[in-house]
Amino acid sequence: MRLGLIALFVAFIATPAMADTFSLEYQGSALAIIPLGSITVDASIEDNSYDIQTHMQSGGLLNIFEHMNIAASASGAIDGDHVIWRRYDLDHHYARKHRIIAMNVADNGEVVAQINPTYRLWGSPPTSDEQRRSARDPLSSMVAMAIDVGEHQRCQGSYPTFDGRFFYRLELSGGARGHFDSAGYDGEVLKCTMAYVAVAGFEGTDSWG
């Protein structure tokens, strides 16, 4: 689910303009017939700051297996083409469970995370403090990808990402140009391929580990 949201966001804002505000709503379906749920993304990217909110809700066939409702937001600064995240919040309802994550970066660069309820398992190996410091939150990684692709017109780069427990790299490649006509946008886009590389915080039973 995380990967699908990121891929959709990157495909839509492959060439963002600075000082722009955009909104995306997506309705997912299986075989283009059976509804799976919806994703909304609202973001404001200024010359030196950004703010992004997302909401994802499962629906239709997906609800048979697991009902899911996710609301997340992130904000931070932009220095040239460098995205500096400051805060990340996640409110996650899934399988009759509810978890809230609030992360921010302290003045000394330490990543402070409040997780309620806390995780029972932290992975093998768990995410280290050095890995936390080197990463952005998931939404800020999406913003960084969009800015990089827009500035350099190429799908290239590795983006260390931390979401409170999992540390992984999002790696861009590809770069074929194509036409995109959906969610209120009709025009040419640069289509990137993204790999999700699990690094730390995962267990052998994690489906994406």
Nearest CA to 101 out of 82, 86, 84, 117 is that of 117
pLDDT over 50 at 162, yes or no: yes
| Residue 151 or residue 207, greater confidence | 151
The C-alpha torsion from 121 through 127 and 133 to 138, rounded to 10°, is -70
Per-residue model confidence (pLDDT) at position 178: 76
Per-residue model confidence (pLDDT) at position 201: 94
Per-residue model confidence (pLDDT) at position 182: 65
Distance, in Å, from the CA atom of 134 to the CA atom of 128, rounded to the nearest integer, reads: 10
Strand partners, 42: 23, 53
Cis bond before residue 125 (omega within 30° of 0): yes
pLDDT over 60 at 25, yes or no: no
Per-residue model confidence (pLDDT) at position 198: 92
Query: Strand, helix or coil at 147?
Result: helix
Nearest CA to 131 out of 162, 164, 163 is that of 162
The enclosing H or E element of 130 equals helix 129-134
At residue 102's C-alpha, the angle toward residues 69 and 55, to 5°, is 25
Q: pLDDT tens-digit profile of 29-48?
A: 444 444 445 677 788 888 89
pTM score, whole prediction: 0.79
Per-residue model confidence (pLDDT) at position 1: 33
| Residue 21 or residue 1, greater confidence | 21
pLDDT over 60 at 136, yes or no: yes
pLDDT over 80 at 169, yes or no: yes
pLDDT over 80 at 64, yes or no: no
For 79-93, 135-149, 182-196, which range has the lowest pLDDT when averaged over its residues? 182-196
Average the pLDDT over 40-61 and give the result.
80
Per-residue model confidence (pLDDT) at position 151: 82
Average the pLDDT over 92-106 and give the result.
90
